[in-house]
Structure formats: C-alpha cells, structure tokens
Amino acid sequence: MHEFIQQYIVSYLKSKDLTPGGAGNVFWATVYILLVFVGLSIAVIAMNWLERKILAHMQVRLGPMRVGPHGLLQPIADAIKLLLKEDIMPAEADAAIFWVAPFMVVLAAFTVFVVVPFGPTHAITDMNIGILFMLGVSSLSVLGIVMAGWASNSHYPLIGALRSSAQMVSYEVAMGLAVVSVIIMTSLNTEGIGTLSMIGIVQAQMAQGTWFIFKFFPLGLIGFFIFAVAMVAETNRAPFDLPEAESELTAGFHTEYSGFRWSLFFLAEYSAMIAVSSIAVTLWLGGWLRPFPNLLHGAIWELVFSLFPGVTFVLLGAMCFYNVARMPKHPLFKIQTMGLAAFGAVLALIGLVLFVPGVRERVGDIFWFAAKVAGFMYLYIWYRGTFPRYRFDQLMKVGWKILLPMGLALLILTAAAGFLEAPVKEWLSRVL
Amino acid sequence: MNPVATPFFFYLLAGIMIIGGILVITRKNAVHSALALITTLLAQAAIYLMLYAPFVAGVQIILYAGGIMVLFLFVIMLINIERTQKERQFNKQWLVGIAAAAALGGLFIAVYTKGKTLFPEGRVSYEEVQNTQGVATLLFDRHAGVYMFAFEIASLLLLVAIIGAVVMAKKRI
C-alpha cells in the first residue's frame, strides 16, 4: 500500500507535459488546488494593501502607515477585525438565501481557477471547453449578487442587485463576441480546427508566432479593448461600480452584510478580478509566454529572461532594505524597522531560490503569467483612481450601442481576415 | 479513460433534478421557485457532462443558469411579492392536467418499452476532446451537417417569443 502511494505520487512527476487533471492524478490535483487557493488568498491580501497605497499616492496621501511598516500589516489587521465583528442579519431578511448568497459568489469566483493555465503543465486541469467553463461559472456569481440584494429585504441592496444583474447580463454579450473572435483566430492552422481549451489557446498563439492582441492589426487590439472594458463592468469595479455606488446606494447589494459574510464578498470581488484578468491574459497576451520570443531568441536571451523572477524578488527585497535605512531612528520604531528588514530578507531569499537552475526553469511560466495579471490589477486601481462613475443610462448605452455593434463587426471582420489570409498571401507572392 | 457515468451519479443528479422540479411548483415565493429551477438546470448540465457532452453542458450553464435565470430573477424582483403570496397558487385545471400528464407518461412508457426499436442502435459518441468539433460538424458541415435546419427553426421560435413580448408590452406599436 505504502509503495503504491509512493508510486502514484512519483508517476505524475515523470510525465512532463500533463496537467494533474489531464494525468488523472488526484493527489497532485489536490496539491495544485491548495497551492492556487493559497496563492489567490495572498494575492487578494496584497491587492488590498496595494490598492489603498496606490490610490492614496494618486491622491497625494500616505495611505495606511500605522499597522506595521508602511501599513504592511493593515490587511491582516482588517481580516482579524472582520472575523471578530458581530454577524448581523436583518429581522425581515430571507434567512436561507441571505446565508447562501455570499458562498455562491465565492464559489463561482474560485471555481473558475480550475482551468486557468499558469503554465503548460501548471494548471489544475485542461478542459476541452475551458473558456466556456470560465465564462459560464463566472456568470453564476451574478446570481449570488442578486440573491444577496433580494434577501436583504431592503431598498438599497435591491436597487444594487437590479443594477448589477442588468449590467452583467448586458456586458456579457459584448464580452462573448470578443472571445469568439479569438476562438476564430485559434482555428487558423492547417487543419482548420480551433480550440476552446485555455492551454490550447496559448499554444495556438505560440504556433502562430504572435499574441492575438497583435493578430490582424488592429482587429486583435479592438477585441482586446472590448474585453478590457466589459471585464471591468463584469466585476462591478469603477468606473462601472454602480451596483455598489457609495454615494447613491450606501454599499449596494452588500449593505446589510457585516463581518465574515461581508469579507466573503470582498474576497470574491478580488478573485473575480484576477480571474477575468487571467482570461484576458490567456486570450490576448500570450498567457505564460515570455515577451519578445521572436525578436530576442537564442540561448543567451533564454537565460536572461529566465533570471527575471529572481531579479524581481531581489529588487523587492532591496527596496525593503532601502526603506529600512529611511525608517525614523526613534526607539518606538525599532520593532517596525526590524520587521521590515526581516520581510526584505525573506523576499531576497525567495529571489535567490528562484535563481537555482532547476527552479527557475519551472517557475518562469508562472512568473510571466502572474506579471501580466499584475499589470491588469494595476490598471483596475488606476481606473478607480482616475475615472468618474458612469450614469446608468450611459452604462447601458456603452454596452448595447457601442460595444455590441463593435463586437459584431469585429467578429465578421476577423472571420473575413482569417478566410482571406492564405489567398492574399499566395496572390502577393505571385505578384511580387 | 475511466467512465464517470456511474449509476450512482445519475441517480444523485436525477434526484436533485426531481426535488428541484417539485420545489419550483410548490414554493409560494417566486424567487425561491426560480432558485430551485437554477438548481435543476445545474444538475442537468452535470448530466450532460456525464454523457461526455462538455460543450452542451457549458452552453447550458452560460445560457440557462447564467443568462436566462438572471433575467427571470430580475423580473420577479420587480413584482410585488407580498401580493403574489396571497394569491391562489393552483388554478384547479384537473382535467387538462391529467390529460397532459397521461400523454407525457404514455410517451415515457413507450420510449422505455420500445426504445430499442424506435431509436437507432449505434449511439454516436465522440471522444471528450472532439465533442465540440463533433457538434460543429453536425451543425455546419457541408455534407454531415444535417441539423442546421432544425437549429434555425428552433431559433425562429425564440424570435416569435420576442415579437410576442414586444406586442404585449407596448400599447401602441
């Protein structure tokens, strides 16, 4: 029995080109699920801190500074506060639905990560219908929001829920059209068979030698633009945050929620942001592929790009040490200074580990994927810091009268471009 | 490939669907009914998955559970629930009900007893990887695409529903 288990665990490591789901290995699938879950939780915590800090700096404030050096422990303090808060349920609320709604939202937000490809083998599983699965399951989160708003039995949450459902249903259409144009692009190979699998889409970009954002310029770019607008609306973020518009609806659909249940909504919102960003990265920005594989290739460039993850972490550690030197020299800041130095040391150590040849070959793809997603996360914060909120009629106008016709035109033009690509190339080669 | 289509899963999902279906018609609160219907639809998607039809399952989740049911809930939430709860739930059309149930039951019994002669023997089954392509071939292929007409006719049905909705909602067209 013992040997069998050992054999079972080792057998996956020998197959180099399978995801745990593809190999049907339950042990490694569980390990990957736990890793993704932990990684996501850390990302949400980091995102919480970064959002406050970056927004504050955009508005020439300092942001959180009290809890830990530069407010680094603020998210943890907040999490503890939320867990200790009283869990209030309105007397007139529909108890069962009020209970279920936050779990529904979290479930939808986390389940989509089953198919997110962090690398050719670094995904929990590769589904034949990957992108459909992601869009479908993430569209279930709107049900949770509607349930939450309705079950609260209060006016502001109900208005928030109505706005949210109208908004998400409208923008899903434009989003779907942009996605279909990418799926047409994946079918431009010799067999003429496209793919819906997330890993397959990235491999199609690798095979065609271009990220789909640059394919049929400017068609890929337009598709990416439609998706980038629709995904902000889909996650209810500024400038499309009407379902939770603070100035009009208090907090929108989660007005009546408090404590742990509210924190579930928070968690779901941020992991949904990461999820849609990873769809955008996979479909248009080459997923786990490193930048400039055509221009800068060869053994030396491979080595240079494989050093990036380690360099990034070492630089982050160096930044910590720079701030250690800048900390006030007052005795009250002694513990904070030591804590920051320890944090910097940990980051630098992680960076050094990432320089080890065996490790750096394995984490390169995850690093590039995460770096691209992080770019999108920064964009989300940037939007929130700079754009004023849309009015509801403007929101509907953008969705139905601008993005939807654009999406339809894009779909037709992409299909035409794909159809004409080969004949035009042949004609050109004969003429020239 | 180990089959996941074990009887256990079938009975589990079928049980969920039946309970959901009963809840849809017995709940007084329309929102509860809609949520029960969503449960039923999700279980149905799982049954499609069990039959190695992932594409149909994905479309089922996107269209029904994600799209149509959200619109259902959207409309239900605008209705005054307090008033609907006091209204009579069943409108005592026993005769029509029995006739419809008997017809459906008869159909089921006919399929169950004579199914082998009614349907072709060989089941068309695709590998899971080719399922989506298989659906596309049956719909759009120049030679094998026999279901295009049926598909378009079904979409015509939806068009009729849309026109009906517009006619009912607008006083002056």
Burial A45-84 (b: 16+ CB within 10 A, else e): bebbbbbbbbebeeeeeebbeeebbbbbbbbeebbeebee
Cα B88 from chain centre: 26
- Tell me if A64 sits within 8 A of A127, measured CB to CB: no
Residue after which a domain boundary falls, among B32, B58, B87: B87
What six digits make up the tokens of A222? 């337009």
Residue (of A148, A103, A165, A351) closest to A257 by Cα position: A148
Q: What is the pLDDT of residue B1?
A: 45
pLDDT surpasses 70 at A193: yes
Task: State whether B1 and B83 are in the same domain.
Answer: yes
**What are B154-166's pLDDT values in tens digits?**
889 889 988 988 8
Task: State whether B83 and B132 are in the same domain.
Answer: no
Q: Angle CA(A43)–CA(A214)–CA(A179) in degrees, nearest 5?
A: 65
Residue B129 has a CB neighbour count (10 Å cut-off) of 13
A300 inside 8 A of chain B by CB? no
Q: CA-nearest residue of chain A to B63?
A: A136
> Which residues in A lie closer than 8 A to residue B65 (C-beta atoms)?
136, 139-140, 143
> At which residue do the structure tokens 């990684």 appear?
A39
Task: State whether B4 and B60 are in the same domain.
Answer: yes
Asked whether the bond before A218 is cis by omega within 30 degrees of 0, the reply is yes
A334: three-class secondary structure by DSSP: helix
Task: State whether B81 and B131 are in the same domain.
Answer: no
pLDDT band at residue B82 under the 50/70/90 scheme: low
Distance from CA of A167 to the nearest CA of B (A): 11
Q: CA-nearest residue of chain A to B130?
A: A128
Q: How many residues does chain B have?
A: 173
Angle between helices A26-58 and A2-14 (to 10 degrees): 60
Q: What is the pLDDT of residue A157?
A: 84
A173 inside 8 A of chain B by CB? no
Q: How many domains does chain B have?
A: 2
Any idea where the domains of chain A sit in the sequence?
A: 2-307+355-416
Residues whose CB falls within 8 Å of the CB of residue A329, separated by 6 or more in sequence, listed in order: none
Task: State whether B3 and B69 are in the same domain.
Answer: yes
| B47 lies in some domain | yes
- Looking at residue A118, the DSSP 8-state letter turns out to be S
CB contact under 8 A, A162 and B74: yes
Task: State whether B20 and B79 are in the same domain.
Answer: yes
pLDDT surpasses 70 at B126: no
Q: CA-nearest residue of chain A to B60?
A: A136
Q: What is the pLDDT of residue B3?
A: 55
Residues of B with CB under 8 A from a CB of A: 2, 29, 31-32, 35, 38, 54-55, 57-59, 61-62, 65-67, 69-71, 73-74, 77-78, 128-129, 131-133
pLDDT surpasses 50 at A428: yes
User: Average pLDDT over chain B, rounded to whole?
Assistant: 81
Indicate the residue of B35, B55, B66 with minimum beta-carbon distance to A140.
B66
How many contacts does A have with B, using Cβ atoms within 8 A? 77
User: For A341-366, what is the mean pLDDT?
Assistant: 86
User: Average pLDDT over chain A, rounded to whole?
Assistant: 85
Residue A421 has a CB neighbour count (10 Å cut-off) of 13
CB contact under 8 A, A133 and B58: yes
**What are A94-125's pLDDT values in tens digits?**
788 888 888 888 988 898 898 888 888 888 88
User: For A329-348, what is the mean pLDDT?
Assistant: 87
Mean pLDDT lowest among A34-43, A104-113, A244-253: A244-253
User: For A10-36, what is the mean pLDDT?
Assistant: 78
Percent above pLDDT 70 for chain A: 99
Asked whether the bond before A239 is cis by omega within 30 degrees of 0, the reply is yes
User: For B36-62, what is the mean pLDDT?
Assistant: 87
- Tell me if A252 sits within 8 A of A243, measured CB to CB: yes
| B1 lies in some domain | yes
Residue predicted with more confidence, A197 or B86: A197
Indicate the residue of B38, B66, B133 with minimum beta-carbon distance to A136.
B66
| B109 lies in some domain | no
Question: Contacts for B42-49 with beta carbons within 8 Å, 24 or more apart?
Answer: B43/B13, B43/B14, B43/B16, B43/B17, B44/B13, B44/B17, B46/B9, B46/B13, B47/B10, B47/B13, B47/B14, B47/B17, B49/B4
Task: State whether B77 and B12 are in the same domain.
Answer: yes
Mutate to test the interface with A, among B4, B33, B35, B131 (most CBs of A within 10 A): B35
**What are A136-186's pLDDT values in tens digits?**
888 888 888 888 888 888 888 888 888 888 888 888 888 889 999 988 888
Task: State whether B52 and B131 are in the same domain.
Answer: no
Q: What is the pLDDT of residue B105?
A: 93
pLDDT surpasses 60 at A128: yes
| B133 lies in some domain | yes
Residue predicted with more confidence, B147 or B91: B147
CB contact under 8 A, A136 and B65: yes
B167 lies in which domain range? 127-173
Mutate to test the interface with B, among A104, A135, A143, A193 (most CBs of B within 10 A): A143
